[in-house]
């Protein structure tokens, strides 16, 4: 009997099935440094202990997207080892501030299944939750992923498609404990623009581009202990629908978030992900550009020092965003990511 595993295929899943994922993971300052090197993150609170302390935190916290990727990576061996592609996300909430030295585990529940009409693949809907070393929930999210079937003729259960909220309501946002923006130093943070300077409907071209290197996207994916075959096995992927290794979709999310600093430098931390859709796959050699639109603004109850901006970011490949291309338009083939999230912003900057 083999002691190794080939992972789950679509017909192996059942609604209500639960997974306790391996392996526990401590995120260190070394991981933070590598994450910064891969994406060039410059947001001030995550970059400087001194700046973080000036806004009421003990020290620089983990970037919430790093935590998201690590928890996502925990789920891959059980959920998406045999995936064709991860398709989207919803109802992602960051529930507790995390710091270097914290350790995390993850659990998941299958909440929906739908076989595709070709009989070769199906969509798996899953709710995953990450826990810190004290057993406290750190974040939770829903994702849906296209997974290969082991055998086309294998019977599958009736379709169950879960209802997911269109967005995270502002009252469900969790502001990091202790954070205060009364003394927020916009000059050293890199931008004079805060919550009150952005209007609903405004679009921001983030201008800069970043080319994906083969080694970088694979290092990033290994950083998260994500073992999905589509990102690593070049021989196997030559016979796939894409014909080559594809980039982990979360890599595009973090590239877009990093590029968004130019225009949204004071979007201090991601509080929630309302939705995310990987419109097209990315591969090494693609150059990523992005632009953002302000979808909504929310003043948070009892807080005059900060607010939340709902931001929709579109990332493209090899297409500068001067004309703000959108999914569904002429530039559909060039759009990589449609990402909708809430970010915490200081108010009334001087």
Q: Are residues 121 and 14 in the same domain?
A: yes
Q: Are residues 193 and 342 in the same domain?
A: yes
CATH of residue 253:
3.10.129.10
Q: Are residues 269 and 149 in the same domain?
A: no
Cα dihedral sign, 203-62-81-105: negative
Task: Give me the helix-helix angle, 249-259 and 29-39, nearest 10°.
Answer: 80
Distance CA 280, CA 231 (A): 15
**Whole-angstrom Cα Rg for the chain:** 20
Higher pLDDT, residue 2 or 161: 161
The 10s digit of each residue's pLDDT in 218-235 is 999 999 999 988 888 878
> Is residue 240 domain-resident?
no
Cβ of 2: how many Cβ atoms within 10 Å? Answer: 5
Predicted pLDDT at 239: 83
Position 164 pLDDT exceeds 80: yes
% of the chain residues with pLDDT over 90: 86
DSSP reduced 3-state for 94: strand
Q: Are residues 198 and 303 in the same domain?
A: yes
Return the closest-CA partner of residue 20 out of 132, 134, 128, 145.
Answer: 128
Q: Provide the domain limits for residue 325.
A: 187-212+247-350
Q: Are residues 54 and 149 in the same domain?
A: yes
Total-model pTM: 0.95
> Is residue 327 domain-resident?
yes
Q: Are residues 60 and 199 in the same domain?
A: no
Q: Are residues 92 and 198 in the same domain?
A: no
Q: Are residues 201 and 142 in the same domain?
A: no
Backbone angles phi, psi at 48, to 5 degrees: -140, 125
The stretch 251-264 carries a mean pLDDT of 98
> Is residue 257 domain-resident?
yes
> Is residue 178 domain-resident?
no
Predicted pLDDT at 228: 86
> Is residue 218 domain-resident?
no
Beta bridge partners of 280: none
> Is residue 54 domain-resident?
yes
Q: Are residues 148 and 257 in the same domain?
A: no
Distance CA 150, CA 225 (A): 24
> Is residue 326 domain-resident?
yes
Q: Are residues 12 and 61 in the same domain?
A: yes
Structural domain tally of the chain? 2
């Amino acid at each position: 009997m083999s002691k190794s595993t080939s992972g789950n295929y679509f017909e192996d899943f059942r609604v209500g099935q639960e997974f306790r994922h391996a392996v526990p993971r401590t995120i260190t300052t070394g991981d933070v440094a590598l994450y910064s090197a891969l994406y060039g993150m410059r947001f001030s609170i995550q970059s400087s202990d001194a700046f973080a302390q000036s806004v009421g935190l003990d020290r620089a916290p983990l970037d919430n997207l790093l935590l998201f990727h690590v928890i996502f990576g925990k789920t891959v061996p059980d959920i998406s080892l045999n995936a064709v592609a991860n398709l989207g996300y919803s109802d992602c909430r960051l529930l507790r501030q995390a710091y270097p030295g914290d350790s995390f585990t993850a659990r998941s529940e299958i909440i929906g299944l739908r076989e595709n009409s070709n009989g070769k693949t199906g969509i798996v809907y899953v709710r995953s939750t990450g826990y810190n070393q004290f057993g406290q929930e750190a974040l939770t999210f829903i994702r849906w992923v296209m997974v290969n079937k082991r055998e086309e003729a294998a019977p599958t259960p009736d379709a169950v498609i879960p209802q997911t909220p269109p967005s995270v309501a502002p009252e469900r946002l969790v502001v990091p404990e202790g954070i205060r923006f009364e003394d927020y130093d916009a000059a050293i943070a890199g931008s004079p623009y805060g919550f009150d300077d952005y209007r609903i409907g405004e679009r921001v071209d983030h201008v800069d581009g970043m080319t994906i290197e083969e080694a970088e996207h694979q290092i990033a994916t290994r950083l998260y202990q994500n073992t999905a075959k589509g990102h690593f096995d070049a021989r196997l992927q030559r016979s796939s629908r894409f014909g080559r290794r594809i980039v982990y979709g979360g890599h595009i999310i973090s590239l877009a978030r990093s590029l968004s600093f130019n225009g949204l430098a004071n979007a201090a931390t991601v509080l929630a992900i309302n939705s995310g859709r990987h419109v097209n796959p990315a591969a090494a050699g693609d150059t990523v550009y992005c632009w953002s639109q302000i979808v909504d603004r929310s003043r948070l109850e009892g807080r005059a020092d900060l607010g939340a901006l709902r931001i929709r970011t579109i990332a493209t490949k090899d297409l500068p965003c001067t004309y703000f291309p959108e999914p569904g338009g002429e530039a559909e083939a060039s759009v990589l990511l449609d990402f909708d999230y809430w970010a915490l912003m200081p108010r009334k900057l001087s």
